[in-house]
Amino acid sequence: MSAGDLSAAAAGLVSCETCSLLTQPVHPNHPGHCPRCGAELESRRPRSIQTTWALVIAAAICYIPANLLPVMNTTTLGSTEPDTIIGGVVFLYTSGSWPLALIVLIASVMVPIGKLIALAYLLVTVQRGVKGGERERTRLYRMVEIIGRWSMLDVFVDTFTVALVQLSPLMSVEPGMGVLFFAAVVVLTMIAVETFDPRLIWDAAARQQDPRQETKP
């Protein structure tokens, strides 16, 4: 391996995830604590792949009721009408604000599903030890990290609609079960992004260059 491509793990060093201090661990399997900030040292996030898979699968399961169940129930003069996420997009589109309809469609439908596919793709390629495209996959990971929070949009829309439209007996809006599952999808995928360790993407390439070196995920 060229000296220019040496990873900290290959050099027997550990970088603190909290304060980024580079240290020589006491023991490779039990690196101990960071001398500067006291955080527990870890060469790679522990059980990263298993934990991330568990969260991705849980989020994928929640994604189904999140889209099928109503996020809001609007009661107008005694008659109640359920409103799903897609229903909300259609409502915005037909009421003439297609830019907002597009924003909600991207944030509530496309971002969550895109996030799940992206995380699953990253997990599968890491598990198979795929080489190549490391930079692109790291970029994908960062994109998921930055965009992910925007899917919380619909939860806020529902909260403030419910909070404002309390004009009984004329009209009132109550939250539906869908919003709970939707919030669960966002929270679970956000935690999944934090448990996934992007350094695993680069470990496969390092193993190829030096077959003796094994970096444990």
Q: Verify binding: residue 152, other proteins, rule CB under 8 A.
A: yes
User: Do 81 and 74 form a contact (C-beta atoms < 8 A)?
Assistant: yes
Q: Which of 1, 26, 32, 36 binds other proteins (CB under 8 A)?
A: 36
Q: 109 vs 203, which CB is nearer to other proteins?
A: 203
Q: Verify binding: residue 139, other proteins, rule CB under 8 A.
A: yes
Least distance between other proteins and beta carbon 52 (Å): 16
- Directed axis angle between helix 177-195 and helix 153-164, to 10°? 150
Three-state SS string across 190-201, please? Answer: HHHHHHCCCHHH
Q: Verify binding: residue 131, other proteins, rule CB under 8 A.
A: no
Q: Which of 131, 153, 207, 217 binds other proteins (CB under 8 A)?
A: 153
Least distance between other proteins and beta carbon 29 (Å): 17
Per-residue mark of binding to other proteins, 50-89 (x: CB under 8 A): --------------------------------------x-
* Stretch of residues binding other proteins (CB under 8 A), selected from 46-54, 61-69, 90-98, 117-125: 90-98
Beta bridge partners of 76: 79, 171
Q: Verify binding: residue 102, other proteins, rule CB under 8 A.
A: no
User: Do 174 and 72 form a contact (C-beta atoms < 8 A)?
Assistant: yes
User: Do 67 and 86 form a contact (C-beta atoms < 8 A)?
Assistant: yes
User: Do 13 and 23 form a contact (C-beta atoms < 8 A)?
Assistant: yes
User: Do 42 and 31 form a contact (C-beta atoms < 8 A)?
Assistant: yes
Q: Which of 179, 188, 192, 204 binds other proteins (CB under 8 A)?
A: 179
Measured distance CA(13)–CA(209) in Å, rounded: 19
* Stretch of residues binding other proteins (CB under 8 A), selected from 51-59, 61-69, 114-122, 131-139: 131-139
Residues 6+ apart with CB under 8 A from 115: 144, 147, 148, 151, 189
Distances (CA, A) of 102 to 97, 107, 183: 9, 8, 20
Q: Interface with other proteins by CB under 8 A: which residues?
A: 5-9, 11, 13, 15, 17-24, 33-39, 88, 91-92, 95, 97, 100, 103-104, 134-135, 138-139, 141-142, 149-150, 152-167, 170-171, 174-175, 179-180, 183, 187, 190, 194, 198-199, 201-203
